[in-house]
């Protein structure tokens, strides 16, 4: 049974990605769901990194669920409604993306932890796992998902959708040695 609870969408960003961020924010603001949600954004203007910035956002979140979304990604219409409709199915509710700009099978094939940073995760589980490892500058989500698997967390793949869009561009962190541009 789906849970009616607050979702905290959290988005770390850097100064050079203001245009991407505005589009991301619009995609979050355009969600239609009966569930309450908040969108927390934090600018990393001191170069502390995605892990640190995301963990700080998580510490400010009020939701029972966290949804980290990168500043260059987008939520599709109805994404929160679809994810929350599946929230009774697991501890981490994830969906494969619609990928724009490049064909990348590692984003659309396989089971966890071969999934990108997008997944609705119970806030309690996030804290139990310690959030993102702040010593990692690349694929910090993979480490979190692996720790979740190690403690027996239940992953649920949502087939309905797509619910989110992963955009390839010249500044993707996963293709630039861990530094978003």
pLDDT per residue as tens digits for the range 41-79: 999 999 999 999 999 999 999 999 999 999 999 999 999
Collapsed DSSP state (helix, strand, coil) of residue 102: coil
Q: Is the pLDDT of residue 161 over 70?
A: yes
Given a cut of 50, whether residue 8 has pLDDT beyond it is yes
Do residues 123 and 67 make contact, with C-beta atoms less than 8 angstroms apart? no
The structure's pTM equals: 0.87
Query: Residue 94: helix, strand or coil by DSSP?
Result: strand
Judged by phi (left if over 0) then psi (alpha if -120 to 50, else beta), residue 23 lies in alpha
> Quick one: pLDDT band at residue 105, thresholds 50, 70, 90?
low
Contact 100, 162 (CB under 8 A): no
Cα angle for residues 94, 96, 100 (degrees, 5° grid): 140
Domains of the chain with bracketed CATH: 7-168 (3.90.550.10)
């Amino acid at each position: 049974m789906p849970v009616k609870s607050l979702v905290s969408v959290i988005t770390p960003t850097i100064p050079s990605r203001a245009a991407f961020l505005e589009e991301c924010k619009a995609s979050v603001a355009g969600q239609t769901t009966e569930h309450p949600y908040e969108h927390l954004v934090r600018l990393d203007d001191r170069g502390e990194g995605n892990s640190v910035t995301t963990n700080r956002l998580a510490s400010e979140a009020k939701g029972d669920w966290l949804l980290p979304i990168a500043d260059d990604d987008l939520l599709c219409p109805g994404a929160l409604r679809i994810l929350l409709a599946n929230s009774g199915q697991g501890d981490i509710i994830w969906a494969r993306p619609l990928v724009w700009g490049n064909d990348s099978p590692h984003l659309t094939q396989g089971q966890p932890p071969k999934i990108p940073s997008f997944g609705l995760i119970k806030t309690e589980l996030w804290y139990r796992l310690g959030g993102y490892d702040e010593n990692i500058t690349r694929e910090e989500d993979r480490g979190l998902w692996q720790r979740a698997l190690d403690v027996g967390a239940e992953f649920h793949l949502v087939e309905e959708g797509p619910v989110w869009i992963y955009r390839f561009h010249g500044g993707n962190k996963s293709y630039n040695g861990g530094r978003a541009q």
